[in-house]
Amino acid sequence: MRASGISALFIAAFALAIAPGAAQAAKATKYQKMVVEGSPAELFELVGEDLWQKKQGPKNASLEKCDLGKGPGVVKGAYAALPRYFKDTNRVDDAETRLLYCMETLQGRSRKEALKRPFGNANKPSEMEYLTAYVAGQSRGYKVAPGMSHPQEKRAYELGKALFDTRTGLYDFSCATCHGEAGKRIRASELPVLSDPAVARPVMATWPAYRVSNSQMKTMQWRINNCYRQMRTPQPIWGSEVVNAMHTYMMVTGKGAIYAGPGTKR
């Protein structure tokens, strides 16, 4: 009798240890749903659309003729098909670096001026954040299908994939240190296993995203930059080959998802 009593106790203790985790995950999912219901992400798209049509820069031109990969001026579905290789820049560009290219070529702005504030704050979001929200919003309902055929696109994917597992920085962290195992989280934010297509799909379908905790629209360039900051590496250069390769790797892993962004995160 005594033995079964102990085992019953053990089972009870085990059940207790499991239950709070599951309950917490369910609560987090419910909370996430509520957060999405109250999301002002659309407002960023509206401002972004105005900026897209606004004539500015030395050439006093708008971005309406910008070629995001679907031809000049085609915004519909463009974000879901990025990053991809562009002949004119001879590199793999994501939406943001492509927007920068258009600011330089169409509007005649200097790289330095256009990149003065790539990441904004709650009081003053950046032009890039508004524009990316608008461009991304125009891809809602499109299948995520980044470039995967050109040798440079393949190279970017392979580089991103290698970087994902490369340990670096003061903490000797790689992306996989946090994003390599299911069930990990930082406070209420779950850490998705981004090397798993099933997990990557919903994530990549909802970036850029409005972050409720700090009232900001954040882009993938920022997300990758900030992950590296948290890993205590030197700050990656905005739009550099490394950042775009990471973005390519994640987008390719999430391919096939139906784009549903800009999303809302905690």
Enumerate the active-site residues: 227
121 lies in the binding site for another protein (CB under 8 A): no
219 to 258, contacts with another protein by CB under 8 A?
A: none
Q: Which of 38, 71, 183, 234 binds another protein (CB under 8 A)?
A: 38
235 is written with which tokens? 């700050």
Where do we find the tokens 């390719």? 252
Per-residue x/- marks for another protein, 186-225, CB under 8 A? --------------------------x--x----------
Output the CA–CA distances (angstroms, integers) from residue 160 to 21, 96, 142, 222, 251, in the order listed. 32, 17, 24, 16, 10
- Residue number with CB closer to another protein (42 or 181): 42
43 to 72, contacts with another protein by CB under 8 A?
A: 43, 46-47
122 lies in the binding site for another protein (CB under 8 A): yes
- Residue number with CB closer to another protein (138 or 253): 138
State in Å, rounded, how far the first CA of the chain is from the last one.
50
Helix, strand, coil % in the chain, rounded to nearest 5? 50, 10, 40
| SS3 state of residue 68 | coil
Q: How far is the CB of 264 from another protein (least distance, A)?
A: 10
The region of 6-14, 35-43, 167-175, 231-239 touching another protein under the rule CB under 8 A is: 35-43
At residue 264, φ and ψ (nearest 5 deg) are: -135, 130
Output the CA–CA distances (angstroms, integers) from residue 202 to 117, 225, 263, in the order listed. 29, 21, 10
140 lies in the binding site for another protein (CB under 8 A): no
Q: Which of 40, 58, 73, 141 binds another protein (CB under 8 A)?
A: 40
39 lies in the binding site for another protein (CB under 8 A): yes
96 is written with which tokens? 């943001």
The region of 21-29, 33-41, 98-106, 224-232 touching another protein under the rule CB under 8 A is: 33-41
Relative to beta strand 216-218, strand 209-211 is antiparallel
32 lies in the binding site for another protein (CB under 8 A): no
Q: How far is the CB of 30 from another protein (least distance, A)?
A: 18
- Residue number with CB closer to another protein (120 or 147): 120
Query: Are the C-beta atoms of 245 and 156 separated by less than 8 Å?
Result: yes
Name residues whose C-beta falls within 8 Å of residue 66's C-beta, 6 or more positions apart in sequence.
Answer: 72, 73, 98, 99, 102, 106
Q: How far is the CB of 210 from another protein (least distance, A)?
A: 8
What residues make contact with another protein under the rule CB under 8 A? 37-40, 42-43, 46-47, 122-123, 212, 215
